[in-house]
Amino acid sequence: MTLLPLPAFDDNYIWMLHDGHQALVVDPGDEQPVLQALQAQGLQLKAILVTHHHADHVGGVDELRAATGAAVYGPAGETMPEPLQRLGDGDTLDLLGLHFTVLDVPGHTAGHIAYFSDNGGQPLLFCGDTLFSGGCGRLFEGTPAQMLASLDRLAALPDSTRVCCAHEYTLSNLRFARAVEPDNTALQDYSRQCEALRARQLPTLPSTIAVERDINPFLRSRQTAVTRAVLARAAASDEIGIFAALREWKNQFK
């Protein structure tokens, strides 16, 4: 099975998974990169998985459905390009011989879902705009409490899970992460690796859950160093308040 991030727009990735014959894609905001990849590699598109309703994730769905006849899957609770099969927490689907489980991960949007497969011991996560490498999505529709709970669920996935995020935001996220945790040596090492990849125009993704637990401040808001850094700037009385203040700090960070 081959996993490819197809670049789209300024910083989106449309994830493609294929076995040399059949493919699925996740969050095709634009049909063109997908059609090009299908043609270049002689692949048949079987399925389109969507994580949430934003245009940069759904903009190519209608064209791809019409061009390929692929089945479309998306969240139960969001406005979606119809027709599609709607999915919610705990729903499962079998595609390209892989078994996927759906996780509700509200916060960025109210009905955001993620797709997880253990993929025969090489687990995979398609998490849209919920978890980014070194960061998390903005809270457009959900609350800090919802996002913290969603990130806790993702952080509990196996260490080796490949984290397929929908945007290349890693370097700017890591600049913020280093401001929060200047003494985190794993974060410093990871930052150097990612800077070297971007200098060669290579994706920093997929990341892994193990890496994210070590370097991502939004998965580390209960760690003493992160809590202290937040409380030095803002008042907060509980873990949700600390998470909310951390997200707000990132929103202001230049």
Nearer to Zn ion, 22 or 143 (CB): 143
In this structure, the number of other CB atoms found within 10 A of the CB of residue 85 comes to 12
**Nearest to 74, CA basis, from 66, 93, 175, 171:** 93
What is the Cα–Cα distance from 136 to 228, expressed in whole angstroms? Answer: 20
Q: Which is nearer to Zn ion, 113 or 187 (CB)?
A: 113
CB of 137 to Zn ion, least distance (A): 6
Count CB atoms within 10 A of the CB of residue 233. Answer: 13
Q: Which of 30, 31, 56, 78 binds Zn ion (CB under 5 A)?
A: 56
Task: Tell me the helix, strand and coil percentages in the chain, rounded to 5.
Answer: 35, 25, 35
CB of 13 to Zn ion, least distance (A): 10
Residue 57 is a catalytic residue? yes
54 binds Zn ion (CB under 5 A): yes
Contacts of 61 (CB under 8 A, 6+ apart): 28, 48, 50, 72, 80, 81, 84
Give min distance, CB of 84 to Zn ion, in A. Answer: 17
Site string for Zn ion, 106-135 (x = CB under 5 A): -----------------------x------
Binding segment (CB under 5 A) for Zn ion, from list 39-47, 52-60, 67-75, 156-164: 52-60
